Structure 1
Amino acid sequence: MNSRLATLFRLVIGLSLGMSAIQAAAAELQVIVPGSEPAIDGKEVDWIYGDYLLKNDHVSLTIAAAVPTRDANMTIRNIGGSILDLTLNEPSNDQLSAYTPTAGRYFFHDPSQVTTGRDGDAVFWQCRSSRTISKDGTTAFVQYRLKDGDAFVESIVQIDGDAAEKVGAFDGVRADGWFSFETFGSVAYCADSFFRQTIGFKNPFVRQPPSWKKGRPNQLRYSDAHVERTDGKLKWTVRLYPATSPADLRTVAEHSDLSPAMYKFVVRPKTPPADGLDAVNRAKVVVRSVGENGDGVQDSFTLQTDDQGIAHTRLIPGKYVAVASAIGCDSSEVAFQSGKENGTVTLPLTDVSGFVAEVKDDQGNFIPVKATIYAADGDHPNFGLSSTRTFVENLVYSVHGRMHCPLDPGKYEIYFSRGPEYDSVRKEVEIIAKEMQLIAVQLDRVVDTTGWVSADLHSHSSPSGDNTSDQYGRVENLLCENVEFAPCTEHNRIDSYTPHLQQMNLTHLMATCTGIELTGSPTPVNHQNSFPLHWHPHTQNGGGPRTSSNPVVQIERLAMWDDASDKLVQINHPNLHQIYGDVDTDGIPDSGFRGMLKWTDVVEVHPLETIFQDIPNNPPSVRRMRIPMFQWLQLLNQGYRIPGVINTDAHYNHHGSGWRRNWFACSTDDPAKISTDEMVRQAESGHIVMSTGPFLSVAGQSTTSRDTAIPGDSLVAADGKVMLKVTVQCPNWLDVNRVQLFISGRPSKKHNYTRKNSPDLFGSMTAVRKFDSSISLSLDQDAHLIVATIGEGMTMEKVMGTRYGKRPPIAVSNPIFVDVDGNGFQHNGDELGMPLPNAAAPATR
């Protein structure tokens, strides 16, 4: 155990608890320590060691340790004393980001102010605030109470002090993504129907519900009826109910006296598929309560099932009818009577229509695949939100190459793909009612990338705190796009993709490592990725560093983390103009944050298409000069040999990963054998080609050197003569029509080849090799050479979707540095028409 974690345990356990667990029948409270981890599931689980667990036979919740360093994620900070995880035990499905008493106006950062204990049949956790933002002399006290048998936890907040009567009565709720914020009866609630969680908030003394005020966090506001006011004291009480849906919440919050029982609805195909794969089971279940004689609908509500076709809700005893429906299936109806004991209702779906696909490579092996489905007429199918897994909007991921996809009858166009090294296969199908069509697909790997592997160094999912995408779905997305190396880089939290790869039994198909995106302010300059880093699961930030408001301090801290271990440090989506010498972007040169460049191994330079824009003659305003590609070329001319990379920065799973990638030189083409250390070395060396799809190969030779230079290398050419071997390969869904050489950042008019002006250099529209030629040039001074290719007027839309696919296919190499005098490459200090601030003082790195 590291020293910081041990200190935290001593503070929390020694000062505030005195023992590891307090139990009364099934209600218990304990400090979370290794060996006593909570059995809480869900997409938004955020507990760490040192937090507190409260649970009984119905609900579980975790409370963030009352320490000043407790952050849940990048956007939920200073969270000590807040409820982070809250869920039913069955089903366990935490989607809450945080409930924060007083909405962060008071800080609970002193573990010596924590008291725990028992009061009758309840266990409690309570804490006095350590300070307040308003500095008005008031203090806040919060107590959480949980009884055995209760389906809620009670929060009691009290404000003390002479100015207490002036304090607004409200708490904060972070329920992100797809939550809506509503009220009914006596209850305020937030609900995410797709991910199947609802949280209710109810005052136990009055029928009036609290109200919502939109914000971050959303404010849960209490009226005078909810609040006890006396001289020098303000107090409110709210009960928090985890539920599966608004209907489930209504039953437990307003009809608990009628002995509701939990019912599980299981939706399955009546006849299981022969291949053992279930159809998509994100079914809708409409539940209707009916009269004692089975006539007359008294109430109805709709439940969303999970990926296994299961939904839950509590029901009061009575007669009901449940109707299940799903894409490509006839509905199923079952009448049943609920009692006081939990029960299960099975709804078999019949007459499924759609397709079954088996996807193999040209060696006959099943491979991960993405199927993008378009309806010939009308709306495209929508299987689920962009944040979900496997069935995402109109696409399907299958990491094992087999998919069972129900579809409503009709005509469809389906694109099967696995990234830009493979041809895509287009199928036109007509789905017939009650029939499952078998589709055999072969995806040929036509692009030869021997010696190079594809990498995306920057992507996100729900643990980052700024999105709600399923992390399992992120890994599906990476695998099905054939990204061969992808570190896990969540915001401000070291994390890992390895557990998902192990769950899929596919660790051999994608190399990965633990990493982080350290995300501070000011934005955008203070975002840095780094990998590999040592991961300490269930500790603050996964064991990673904290941010700093000084970008130079932050990036140095990151570079020196883990005892200055060897790692890659990448500046993300930067404003290089600001970093180099314009801190406040006012157009007046200053020192900038130039010290950051000392610690930078690679820098993101997308969008790639800006390399073809005539920026020097059409400059933007200084305040809007966030053109990383152009400013990177400027830095290269000032002597900074910092390689460029591009990444997706994916936050959603609908085509999120894959449309940008890097190809790294590598000693192996087998993902199972990729070494993270080698990836770091290759990146630091600039052995990188950046691409939205085309595979660009550039190799330089001279008459005075026996070496062949690839991007990132130096090449001695004493006579100034250089030969560049350039090839471009594309699968059948991509094409290029221009190849351009850039000499020291400037486009060469002589070496601008297009399909129109040099048709003999370009392959046919159906050929894999789109360009294959040697370019001879003579240099009279040291220069760096970059090759770029683009499909002008072309898109990748059908395979990569409308959000990203409307961009052109493009690839850009990192520079080859040519030394023409044998004295080592010298930067020329040349400006490209729009100077960097204070650029007259060349810098070396």
Structure 2
Amino acid sequence: MKSAILLSLLIASSVPAAEVFEAALGRETELPKGKEADGILGDFVLRSDKVEAVISQNSPNRKANMSTFYGEDGVTPGCLYDLTLRGANNDQLVVYGPCGHGPVSFVKVVSTQEEGSAAVESVTTAAKNGGIFKRHEYRVKDGVQGIFITTTLRNETDKPQKTFTKSDFTRFDSTGSTTDGIFWTDAINPAHKCGYALGTLNLTGIEKLEDTLELKAQQEVVISRFFAVGTSPAQAVGEVRAVKGVKQGTVAGQILDKGEKGISTATILVPDGEKKTISAYPDAEGKFNLKLPAGQTEIIVEDLGREASKLAFAVTADGMVTPKIYAASAARIRFDITDESGKPIPCKAHFAPLNKDAPKLNLGPKWRAHGCVDQYMSENGQFTQQLPPGKYGVVVVRGPEYSHLEQEVTVEAGKEHVFKGTLKRVVDTKGWISADFHNHSTPSGDNVCDTDGRLINIAAENLEFTPTTEHNRFYDWEPTIKALGLEPYIKTVKGIELTGSRQHVNAFPFEPDPLKQNGGAPDWNDDPRVTVLTLRRWQGERADRWIQFNHPDLSNMFIDRDSDGIQDGGFVGVGSMIDGAESENGPGTDILADSPFRLSRPAGSLAMKVNPVREFVWRQLLNQGLRVTAVGVADAHSVYGNGVGCWRCYLPSSTDEPAKIDWAELAPHAKAGHLVLSTGPFLEVTTQNGKIAGDDDRATGGIDLKVRVQCTDWMDIDRVQVLVNSRPDPKLNFTRATHPQMFKDGVLKFDEKIHVPLEHDAHLIVVAIDEDGNQQTCYGTSDYAKMRPCAYNNPIYVDADGHGFTPNGDTLGFELPAGGLKVDEAKEKLMRAGVIKDEPKAAAPKSEVEHKTVGKKKKKD
């Protein structure tokens, strides 16, 4: 008897008890982790035996991530930042604000009299809130799988006051409400197996909760909610119903194949009313645990490549059902992709159903690598993709330096097809590495792409140097690169994209402090010169600090600062303060554009729109003596559609092994403009004196350019054009039609010496392009498939008279574009220049690539 008592005491003492603590004095290491974890030093951690949560502290500028909400009221102290099952480190929540967000008066620990509970309160006094007192209490209790949130609103004035009560709840793509009024959300990536549910428990002082309440003088309202977390939306909904007192039973089932092996990839569809379902997910062993309302029910088990299964059974209040569901073997393709040495290699596969009337594929959300729409990206070339039985066109690629593999594959029900092959490196880029200086994943806040998905995406497209450039926070991708085993393929440095309502700026390297707001980064300033100087000197100046303008409005920055239509020089001096500016960051190829703007009539609109052409304006500015190095990037925010690979840069490197790349060695090359921009072709341009992109050279009467272009087996070029002082010289325009002897059909497409006659100083840009080509072999159904293969070098500056280089001032037939240009004015200028004759037709619907929210103020939920 005595030993039994001692054993029970020992077991009781080992069970975690509810507690609350400030993440400091060594306990900051106990902050929960996960995809959207945003806790920092000084936040409050609430824990029970079931869950752990983070409530944000009241500190200046406290935000989950800097792009969640913009503007002065975008701070989110006193909000629920993180919520995950105890020890799961699987937070998927960006922020939950029970009545919106904004400044608070204080956030502090609350003493509770209830055993096994802990609480934090956030209070905004009436004096700070227009007369409305607001208090949120967040409380956890042992044995309960969620957090209780009690909101008190009180009008402390002698007049009626309106108050906003709608919750902030970000960010999820899959949401819904149950028939009994419980709001639920699924994780962005269902493979993360997490869901949330929110239910109202009680209302005092009002009969119905609306987004806006009008409180009478001295009226008080109390709103009680329960916020549950589970391994799926369906599990979380069951936890809310349990707290609400709904009679339920437990379903503890398992999904198995015929060999009694658990199936982890399935989705269990739980009925909610007559037409709706809520998803649940099994664990690694195929097991699942749900609370369902008492009564007869039927669940459906779906798994891509398997026939769906149904199971009907009765659930009794407080009872348990333990069904086993057996599923047929999946139809699938197993991939074994290696390099020429036989080593597994990162790659991408995309699948095109070939059967007539085959349904559109949906392998998963566009935000992840392992199954996004109709593609799969792998970190090592060893993977299996389940598919509905049928015939498919399957293509495997690894960026524009490698060959491709292509097969028609018939996938039979219950069987596995093995797709085995070698991706050969066919383009010789020795002495150069491929780089993309601008990409994002979920820490940026304006997208929810998995960080591991972004890095697999980078490896699959064979980008070798990719700085970490999340929005408004210093961050480091290196730990994820190591965890994925991608160190041989990707090198990163820690950096940032500092953003606001106007010019965005990339900068690196820096050292993040993950326990500080923004990782220790500074704030953005509307004057780009202040932003640039701040970044240049933050954490101390260093020779390899790179500062880059992102997707710049060149007119605003360098021509018309206040966009009033009058040239004022822009932000004078800023051009000499930066190292580069993005010329390319999307699927377009406008380097040969013939005007600084174009007109479009968006689909469904009666009004035309003036669209600047950045590449043309860059060429104009070069002629004015502004030497701004052009950079080509993806600015990727998803994996499918807006992933990496649309533009990249090649720059010289002493090593061809990404693991050995040293940014300190690359930086001088980048700062000197030794960058070639490309959607895929590998272009080399060298003068007779060995000078390359960005260099100055000297020659009398003319200069020879050695131009060499390589393309992989799914890409071609049919034109090489030399721009002399930004103008395409018709005598230096070479095409397959006019100069067939200069073009080849193998990997080496062009290898010629071009003599450029010069009477005056000139900068030279060589453009290699396939004018009617696309990249469907690489990108499949993605918008990037429409890109033309294109590459061009940063200018080589040639002094033709020995007196130093002098820009010619040519504006290419158009005055430098100031802001505020009206449609009629733009049309007149374009018609006068002979660029257009008639009004443009309606534009095609915008693609997802064009729908970027970077720097835009988001509408409050």
Distance, in Å, in 2 between the alignment partners of 1:117 and 1:687 is 63
Asked if 2 retains the 8 angstrom alpha-carbon contact of 1:194 and 1:304, the reply is no
Q: In the alignment, which residue of structure 2 is the partner of 1:283?
A: 266
Q: In the alignment, which residue of structure 2 is the partner of 1:401?
A: 381
Q: In the alignment, which residue of structure 2 is the partner of 1:795?
A: 774
Match of 2:197 among 199, 211, 214: 199
User: Helix, strand or coil: the match of 2:540?
Assistant: helix
Q: In the alignment, which residue of structure 1 is the partner of 2:824?
A: none
Distance, in Å, in 1 between the alignment partners of 2:718 and 2:230 is 56
Match of 2:758 among 767, 779, 782: 779
Specify whether residues 310 and 504 from structure 1 end up closer, same or farther in structure 2 by C-alpha distance, changes over 3 A only.
farther
Q: Does 1:43 find its partner at 2:25?
A: no
Asked if 1 retains the 8 angstrom alpha-carbon contact of 2:252 and 2:288, the reply is yes
Q: In the alignment, which residue of structure 1 is the partner of 2:855?
A: none
Distance, in Å, in 1 between the alignment partners of 2:130 and 2:212 is 21
Instruction: Report 1:624-639 matches (<5 A).
Output: 624=610, 626-639=612-625
- What's the CA shift string for 1:594-653, capped at 9, x where partnerless? 343232111001266212221169789999453221121122222222210111111111
Asked if 1 retains the 8 angstrom alpha-carbon contact of 2:435 and 2:650, the reply is yes
Match of 1:26 among 14, 17, 42: 17
Match of 1:67 among 56, 59, 64: 59
Shift of 1:787: 0.5
Amino acid at match of 1:28: E
Asked if 1 retains the 8 angstrom alpha-carbon contact of 2:593 and 2:615, the reply is no
Asked if 1 retains the 8 angstrom alpha-carbon contact of 2:767 and 2:793, the reply is yes
Shift of 1:385: 0.6
Q: In the alignment, which residue of structure 2 is the partner of 1:753?
A: 734
Asked if 1 retains the 8 angstrom alpha-carbon contact of 2:132 and 2:156, the reply is yes
Q: In the alignment, which residue of structure 2 is the partner of 1:605?
A: 583
Distance, in Å, in 1 between the alignment partners of 2:303 and 2:54 is 35
- What's the CA shift string for 1:429-462, capped at 9, x where partnerless? 1112222112221111110111111111111111
Q: In the alignment, which residue of structure 1 is the partner of 2:344?
A: 366
Distance, in Å, in 2 between the alignment partners of 1:835 and 1:299 is 60
Q: In the alignment, which residue of structure 2 is the partner of 1:55?
A: 47
Q: Does 1:732 find its partner at 2:709?
A: no
Match of 1:828 among 808, 816, 838: 808
Q: In the alignment, which residue of structure 2 is the partner of 1:175?
A: 170
Asked if 2 retains the 8 angstrom alpha-carbon contact of 1:252 and 1:314, the reply is yes
Instruction: Report 1:126-275 matches (<5 A).
Output: 126-129=121-124, 136-150=130-144, 151-162=146-157, 165-182=160-177, 184-191=179-186, 195=190, 196-205=194-203, 221=211, 231=218, 233-256=220-243, 257=245, 267=255
Q: Does 1:712 find its partner at 2:691?
A: no
User: Helix, strand or coil: the match of 1:474?
Assistant: helix
Amino acid at match of 1:116: V
Q: In the alignment, which residue of structure 2 is the partner of 1:485?
A: 465
Amino acid at match of 2:39: W
Distance, in Å, in 1 between the alignment partners of 2:670 and 2:627 is 12
Moved more, 500-509 or 332-341: 332-341
Give the TM-score taking structure 2 as reference length: 0.83
Q: In the alignment, which residue of structure 2 is the partner of 1:215?
A: none
Q: In the alignment, which residue of structure 1 is the partner of 2:840?
A: none
Give the TM-score taking structure 1 as reference length: 0.85
Specify whether residues 120 and 838 from structure 1 end up closer, same or farther in structure 2 by C-alpha distance, changes over 3 A only.
closer
Amino acid at match of 2:113: D
Q: Does 1:596 find its partner at 2:574?
A: yes
Amino acid at match of 1:689: V
Distance, in Å, in 2 between the alignment partners of 1:773 and 1:298 is 67
User: Helix, strand or coil: the match of 1:199?
Assistant: strand
Moved more, 298-307 or 32-41: 298-307
Distance, in Å, in 1 between the alignment partners of 2:253 and 2:734 is 63
Instruction: Report 1:539-618 matches (<5 A).
Output: 539-565=516-542, 566-606=544-584, 609-615=589-595
Moved more, 775-784 or 374-383: 374-383
Asked if 2 retains the 8 angstrom alpha-carbon contact of 1:185 and 1:208, the reply is no
Q: In the alignment, which residue of structure 2 is the partner of 1:648?
A: 634
Shift of 1:659: 2.5
Specify whether residues 164 and 65 from structure 1 end up closer, same or farther in structure 2 by C-alpha distance, changes over 3 A only.
farther
Asked if 1 retains the 8 angstrom alpha-carbon contact of 2:623 and 2:810, the reply is yes
Amino acid at match of 1:466: D
Asked if 2 retains the 8 angstrom alpha-carbon contact of 1:692 and 1:811, the reply is yes
Amino acid at match of 2:23: I
Distance, in Å, in 2 between the alignment partners of 1:373 and 1:207 is 57
User: Helix, strand or coil: the match of 1:731?
Assistant: coil
Specify whether residues 480 and 761 from structure 1 end up closer, same or farther in structure 2 by C-alpha distance, changes over 3 A only.
same
Moved more, 343-352 or 814-823: 343-352
Specify whether residues 25 and 752 from structure 1 end up closer, same or farther in structure 2 by C-alpha distance, changes over 3 A only.
closer
Asked if 1 retains the 8 angstrom alpha-carbon contact of 2:205 and 2:221, the reply is no
Match of 1:669 among 656, 659, 667: 656
Moved more, 651-660 or 593-602: 593-602
User: Helix, strand or coil: the match of 1:313?
Assistant: strand
Cα RMSD after superposing both structures = 3.5
Distance, in Å, in 2 between the alignment partners of 1:380 and 1:689 is 38
Distance, in Å, in 2 between the alignment partners of 1:28 and 1:666 is 53
- What's the CA shift string for 1:755-776, capped at 9, x where partnerless? 0000000002xx1111111101
Greater relative contact order, per chain length (Cα 8 Å cut-off, separation 6+):
2
Match of 1:412 among 392, 397, 400: 392
- What's the CA shift string for 1:128-163, capped at 9, x where partnerless? 327878x63444333323333333322323344216
Specify whether residues 191 and 835 from structure 1 end up closer, same or farther in structure 2 by C-alpha distance, changes over 3 A only.
same
Shift of 1:348: 5.4
Asked if 1 retains the 8 angstrom alpha-carbon contact of 2:196 and 2:230, the reply is yes
Specify whether residues 343 and 660 from structure 1 end up closer, same or farther in structure 2 by C-alpha distance, changes over 3 A only.
farther
Amino acid at match of 2:148: V
- What's the CA shift string for 1:541-568, capped at 9, x where partnerless? 1111112233332222122211123311
- What's the CA shift string for 1:359-399, capped at 9, x where partnerless? 11223222111001110132342110101231111111121
Asked if 1 retains the 8 angstrom alpha-carbon contact of 2:269 and 2:299, the reply is yes
Distance, in Å, in 2 between the alignment partners of 1:546 and 1:410 is 54
- What's the CA shift string for 1:61-92, capped at 9, x where partnerless? 21111012212112233111111112333765
Q: In the alignment, which residue of structure 1 is the partner of 2:332?
A: 354
Asked if 1 retains the 8 angstrom alpha-carbon contact of 2:369 and 2:378, the reply is no
Match of 2:369 among 354, 374, 389: 389
Asked if 2 retains the 8 angstrom alpha-carbon contact of 1:357 and 1:402, the reply is yes
Shift of 1:800: 1.3
Asked if 2 retains the 8 angstrom alpha-carbon contact of 1:604 and 1:628, the reply is no
Distance, in Å, in 2 between the alignment partners of 1:306 and 1:223 is 43
Specify whether residues 337 and 734 from structure 1 end up closer, same or farther in structure 2 by C-alpha distance, changes over 3 A only.
same
Asked if 1 retains the 8 angstrom alpha-carbon contact of 2:467 and 2:508, the reply is yes
Specify whether residues 115 and 831 from structure 1 end up closer, same or farther in structure 2 by C-alpha distance, changes over 3 A only.
same
Structure 2: gaps spanning 5 or more residues: 1-13, 602-607, 820-861
Asked if 2 retains the 8 angstrom alpha-carbon contact of 1:288 and 1:322, the reply is yes
User: Helix, strand or coil: the match of 2:620?
Assistant: helix
Amino acid at match of 2:211: R
